[in-house]
């Protein structure tokens, strides 16, 4: 047998390879199933487009945080939450019922501009009451004063006189007796409200409006919402008293602005 030279062998190999590729293309063209080859991608490297798609499908925005505003606490017949007048550190915000969740016990840092409040005075309705400091009750509502003849400032909000909305709550009655905020609903726009501070400063506010809201539909954002101006919001029980639940069904809210 004659030995084939290298050129001949190469030519035959090329012809056979071409025939094989032609057969493959014809098979695919006539419905043969071809398997796609997917390049390997290291785990953890996801295309940016897919990453955005998966994030949007979850309906969440990374870094977004839920609002933290207090709720209106239960009416004055509820058992009050023990509180103290220790120094407090502003931070969160309450719901629509003076009472709230377990709170930090860290006292507030003194402010260089506005000292901590110690007494609330409202001459038009003869109020002169010591101020306690409260946070949130276990139900997420703003705390209430432990002494029914005291009032309570929400210590995680602005101090009275600072820019923002400082909230103070008090009882309307307790144990069959009139208490600190019994006459609050009688205030009129323009009436004076004063807050005395630890350094004996007197910060004065003028009543802007007095409103009553049903507890079930009270506008939390309006009552506890922040502001660029120094505001004071006073909250107490009002409206009809439910003898079955021993709760008032409404809240009286007074908004005042620093003079």
d(CA 99, CA 171): 12
List the beta strands (DSSP E) in 30-182: 71-72, 96-97, 117-122, 127-134, 151-154, 164-170, 173-174, 177-178
Mean pLDDT calculated for residue range 239-250: 94
3-state secondary structure of 18: helix
Q: Quick one: pLDDT band at residue 113, thresholds 50, 70, 90?
A: confident
pTM tops 0.75, yes or no? no
Residue 76 near residue 171, CB atoms below 8 Å: yes
Residue 215 near residue 249, CB atoms below 8 Å: yes
Distances (CA, A) of 23 to 17, 18, 20: 10, 9, 5
Residue 234 near residue 182, CB atoms below 8 Å: no
Hey, what are 172's tokens?
Answer: 């309307």
> Any idea what the Cα angle at residue 81 is, between residues 217 and 200, rounded to 5°?
95
Model confidence over 2-47: pLDDT tens digits?
Answer: 455 555 544 544 454 444 444 333 333 444 433 333 333 333 333 3
């Amino acid at each position: 047998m004659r030995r084939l030279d290298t050129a001949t062998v190469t030519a035959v190999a090329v012809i056979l390879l071409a025939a094989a590729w032609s057969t493959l293309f014809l098979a695919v063209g006539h419905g043969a199933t071809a398997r796609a080859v997917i390049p390997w991608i290291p785990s953890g490297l996801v295309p940016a487009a897919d990453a955005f798609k998966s994030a949007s499908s979850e309906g969440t925005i990374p870094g977004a945080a839920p609002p933290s505003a207090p709720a209106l606490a239960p009416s004055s017949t509820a058992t009050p939450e023990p509180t103290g007048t220790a120094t407090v550190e502003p931070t969160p915000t309450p719901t629509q019922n003076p009472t709230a969740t377990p709170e930090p016990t860290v006292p507030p840092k003194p402010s260089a501009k506005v000292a901590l409040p110690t007494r609330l005075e409202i001459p038009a309705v003869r109020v002169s009451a010591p101020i306690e400091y409260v946070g949130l009750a276990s139900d997420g509502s703003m705390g209430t004063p432990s002494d029914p003849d005291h009032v309570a400032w929400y210590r995680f909000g602005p101090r009275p006189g600072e820019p923002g909305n400082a909230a103070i709550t008090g009882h309307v009655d307790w144990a069959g007796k009139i208490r600190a905020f019994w006459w609050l609903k009688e205030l009129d726009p323009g009436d004076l409200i004063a807050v005395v501070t630890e350094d004996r400063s007197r910060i004065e506010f003028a009543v802007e409006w007095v409103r009553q809201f049903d507890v079930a539909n009270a506008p939390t954002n309006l009552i506890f919402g922040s502001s660029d101006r120094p505001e004071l919001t006073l909250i107490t029980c009002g409206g009809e008293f439910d003898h079955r639940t021993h709760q008032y069904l409404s809240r009286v809210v007074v908004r005042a602005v620093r003079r």
